[in-house]
């Protein structure tokens, strides 16, 4: 998947949290306490992103699937293939947190229509190619860029998940996030 497109979806909030900087992006860049360092960090990250993309350091790979789903019991879902054969049966726990009286304890199965045709989808994303670049930073004793590369690879994975979610909503279900 095109890293240039994924870059537009990077959530910078967790990036700054990874560097133990408190504040919301973009306001953190103007913060009286950490703004100067946050801006330097942000600029360094974007310079490295330019290099990662231009030199094709990383590759984004993903897979997505949809299956017919049937809720067969309050906490049980069957997934079927295109011919209607059962692929798997899954049991789902109910929420385990303490709630006020009368509040429901949801299970994933609650979101599948009981005894009616419904669908369930899933996707997985990954970012490949980081190792040779990490090894170079390690050999150069460049911990800063090693950590920066890790942080940016995580942001790419998160951005990729967001993009697949948005594309799925638009292409398969006919609506996009507002």
Nearest to 161 by CA among 16, 63, 24: 63
Instruction: Work out the average pLDDT over 98-120.
Output: 91
Per the DSSP assignment, residues forming a β-bridge with 118 are 69
Judged by DSSP in three states, 57 sits in coil
Torsion angle of alpha carbons 148, 153, 154, 159, nearest 10°?
120
How high does pLDDT run on average in the chain? Answer: 93
Look at residue 80 in the predicted model and tell me its pLDDT: 95
pLDDT at 174 over 90: no
pLDDT at 139 over 50: yes
pTM of this structure: 0.83
Instruction: Work out the average pLDDT over 119-146.
Output: 96
pLDDT at 178 over 50: no
Question: Around Cβ 60, how many Cβ atoms within 10 Å?
Answer: 21
168 pLDDT band, cuts 50/70/90, is: confident
């Amino acid at each position: 998947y095109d890293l240039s497109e994924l870059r537009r979806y990077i959530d910078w909030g967790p990036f700054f949290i990874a560097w133990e900087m408190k504040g919301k992006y973009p306001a953190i860049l103007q913060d009286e306490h950490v703004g100067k360092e946050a801006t330097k960090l942000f600029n360094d990250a974007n310079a490295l992103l330019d290099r990662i993309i231009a030199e094709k350091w990383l590759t984004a790979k993903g897979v997505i699937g949809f299956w017919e789903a049937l809720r067969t019991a309050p906490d049980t879902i069957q997934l079927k293939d295109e011919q209607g054969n059962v692929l798997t049966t899954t049991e789902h726990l109910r929420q385990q947190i303490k709630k006020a009286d009368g509040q429901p304890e949801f299970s994933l199965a609650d979101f599948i229509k009981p005894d009616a045709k419904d669908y369930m989808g899933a996707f997985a994303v990954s970012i490949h190619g980081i190792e040779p670049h990490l090894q170079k930073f390690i050999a150069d004793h460049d911990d800063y860029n090693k950590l920066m590369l890790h942080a940016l690879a995580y942001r790419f994975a998160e951005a990729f998940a967001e993009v697949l979610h948005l594309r799925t909503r638009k292409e398969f279900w006919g609506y996009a996030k507002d």
